[in-house]
Amino acid sequence: MLSRPDAATRGLDQAAGVLVTALLLITTVPAFALWLRRRAPRTALALALAFPGTFAVLFAIAVVGVA
C-alpha cells in the first residue's frame, strides 16, 4: 500500500521528480541520437552513464545532508 506524501514536502518531491526527469532527458536523448547515427560511441557511452552517476552523487549528498 502506498502512503500519501507529506504536505510539507510535496513541493520538494515534485521538484526532485522534475530534476531527475530533466537529467534523464539531457543525457539520454543525445546518447540515443549518437547511437542511431553510429557516431562517437565513447561520447554516447559517457552520456548514457552520466545520468546514473549524477543521480548517485546527488542522492549521496542528500542522504549525508539529512543525516
What's the confidence (pLDDT) of residue 19? Answer: 84
**Domain extent listing, the chain:** 14-66
Instruction: Give per-residue pLDDT as tens, 4-30.
Output: 767 777 788 788 888 888 888 888 888
Q: Can you tell me the distance from the alpha carbon of 43 to that of 50, in angstroms, rounded to the nearest whole number?
A: 10
pLDDT digits (tens, 9 = 90+) for 23-50: 888 888 888 888 889 888 888 888 888 8
